Amino acid sequence: MSVLLISCATITTEQNDNEQACSSGKVRITTDFSTARMDECLLVDENEYLITLVPENTPINSSPWYAFKIQSDQTTNITITMKVRGDKHRYPPKISINGGAWQLQKHQIKGNRLIMKITASPKPVVIAAQEIINNQYYVDWAKKLKVSGKITHNLLGNSTQGRPIYKIEHRNKEAKEWLVILGRQHPPEVTGALALFSFVETLLSTSKLSQNYLKKYNILVIPNINPDGVHAGNWRHNANGLDLNRDWNQFSQVETSLINNYLQQLVKQGGKIKFAVDFHSTHKDIFYSMPVDYGVEDPYFVRHWLGALDYLMPKFDVVIKPGNNPGLGVSKQYFSDHYGVHAITYEMGDNTDRIKIKRIAFNAANLLMSTMLSNANHNKE
Ligand SMILES: [Zn+2]
């Protein structure tokens, strides 16, 4: 059984709006923590449970999320069957025993049903679709970054339900150009979050390359754009049931309009948005870019950068998929249309090895810095 990288997030006691519980008297299955979700739970027989997953609203991208806690007074073996109403499973279950490291949980798939045997005991066991990275995790991460680097961690504004949306910045007085990093528009896309953490840590490191880069460029990171969706364990949407990465043309939602307003403010103050990376997850590793003939500055910039990544990592097949969807409302298109620059959607596979995610992000961040610096020097000549 392979061990996943992160340890179990601190289970916070913030009220969960979808709170459900299922108890046999001896065994209790509960959702009293942030990110938890188990839409329906039924005791079908002694020690046998049926959990049904239901999305926040439809239509929706097929990303059934679940997270629940199991505990019992005495050690008891139970069987849990999970089904998804009108859909099928996307995420193989992960387990964290008594707050320990996440591991893949053995299970069987029978049709659309996922079946697993769990040992319940007084030590709490958490089962989740992916490693739990809750809203508090981002705050703790930013605090750690702050200790090692000269960053600020401030409130950008509040979400639909009033949760804080934070920004992390590294500014240099001499620098005018901004790199923008976005994450977690889609709550279950945890491998994208893992990539963002390593990517940003590499950008803000004490390496010579980072130090040179940070003299020339400012960095804005908004790592957790959809805290209401993360808290509720949503499959994809914000608290209004809308896909935030389809709202970068309308800005009908507070989460996206906060970012748009802030970027426009930076530009008004003389800043220039130079490049943006938006972190997501899907069934495979892929980088969605804007086409080279779209008319943005440095048309081959993304190809040069990711081509260098492909060369550096011979065992990692770098797939670049250019696309132009003017009416779709994705962030990548917004950056190109509003600021005339490239942007990418950086997608990590749901099941990509967690150490590999870190290695890719480390190399991609270093190569991004060297590519941007050498372009800047080239343009000066
Ligand atoms: Zn996504």
pLDDT at 372 over 50: yes
Q: How many angstroms separate the CA atoms of 130 and 267, rounded?
A: 37
Domain ranges of the chain: 21-128, 135-380
Distance 190 CA to ligand 1 centre (A): 10
- pLDDT recorded at residue 17: 58
- pLDDT recorded at residue 67: 98
Report whether the peptide linkage leading into residue 291 is cis, meaning its omega lies within 30 degrees of zero.
no
Distance 225 CA to ligand 1 centre (A): 12
Distance 186 CA to ligand 1 centre (A): 5
pLDDT at 284 over 90: yes
- pLDDT recorded at residue 147: 82
CA triple 165-166-172, angle to 5 deg: 150
Stretch 270-291: mean pLDDT, rounded?
98
Q: How confident is the model at residue 6 (pLDDT cuts 50, 70, 90)?
A: low
Q: How many angstroms separate the CA atoms of 23 and 380, rounded?
A: 68
Distance 358 CA to ligand 1 centre (A): 19
Residue 295: enclosing H or E segment and its boundaries?
A: none
Question: Three-class SS of residue 79?
Answer: strand
What residues sit around ligand 1, an ion, with C-beta below 5 angstroms?
186, 189, 280
Distance 333 CA to ligand 1 centre (A): 14
Stretch 271-283: mean pLDDT, rounded?
98
Of all residues in the chain, the percent with pLDDT exceeding 70 is 94
Q: How many angstroms separate the CA atoms of 132 and 220, rounded?
A: 24
- pLDDT recorded at residue 378: 78
**CB atoms near residue 79 (< 10 Å):** 14
Lowest mean pLDDT among 82-86, 103-107, 145-149: 145-149
Mean pLDDT of the chain: 94
Stretch 96-102: mean pLDDT, rounded?
97
pLDDT at 15 over 70: no
Could you report the per-residue pLDDT of 37-66, keeping only the tens digit for each?
A: 999 999 999 899 999 999 999 999 999 999
- pLDDT recorded at residue 377: 81
Stretch 155-167: mean pLDDT, rounded?
98
pLDDT at 2 over 90: no
Stretch 283-305: mean pLDDT, rounded?
97
- pLDDT recorded at residue 16: 56
Question: Three-class SS of residue 63?
Answer: coil
Q: How confident is the model at residue 9 (pLDDT cuts 50, 70, 90)?
A: very low
Stretch 297-323: mean pLDDT, rounded?
97
**CB atoms near residue 82 (< 10 Å):** 24
Stretch 303-319: mean pLDDT, rounded?
98
Stretch 353-364: mean pLDDT, rounded?
98
pLDDT at 233 over 80: yes
Distance 381 CA to ligand 1 centre (A): 39
Which residues neighbour 334 within 8 Å (Cβ) at sequence distance 6 or greater?
248, 249, 260, 343
User: 96-109 burial string, b = 16+ CB within 10 Å, else e?
Assistant: bbeeeebeebebee
Distance 330 CA to ligand 1 centre (A): 10
Could you report the per-residue pLDDT of 333-346, keeping only the tens digit for each?
A: 999 999 999 999 99
Please state whether 182 falls in left (phi above 0), alpha (psi between -120 and 50) or beta. beta
Distance 376 CA to ligand 1 centre (A): 31
- Smallest CA-to-CA distance from 356 within 364, 345, 366, 367 is with 364
Residue 271: enclosing H or E segment and its boundaries?
A: none
Stretch 15-29: mean pLDDT, rounded?
79
Could you report the per-residue pLDDT of 343-352, keeping only the tens digit for each?
A: 999 999 999 9
Cα distance between the two ends of the chain? 55
pLDDT at 83 over 70: yes
Cβ atoms 70, 28 nearer than 8 A: yes
CATH class of the domain comprising 135-380: alpha beta
pLDDT at 207 over 80: yes
Distance 24 CA to ligand 1 centre (A): 37
pLDDT at 8 over 80: no
Distance 129 CA to ligand 1 centre (A): 15
Q: How many angstroms separate the CA atoms of 181 and 116, rounded?
A: 38
Of all residues in the chain, the percent with pLDDT exceeding 90 is 90
CA 56 to chain CA centroid, Å, is: 18
pLDDT at 353 over 80: yes
Q: Which CATH fold topology does 21-128 show?
A: Immunoglobulin-like (2.60.40)
Q: How confident is the model at residue 102 (pLDDT cuts 50, 70, 90)?
A: very high
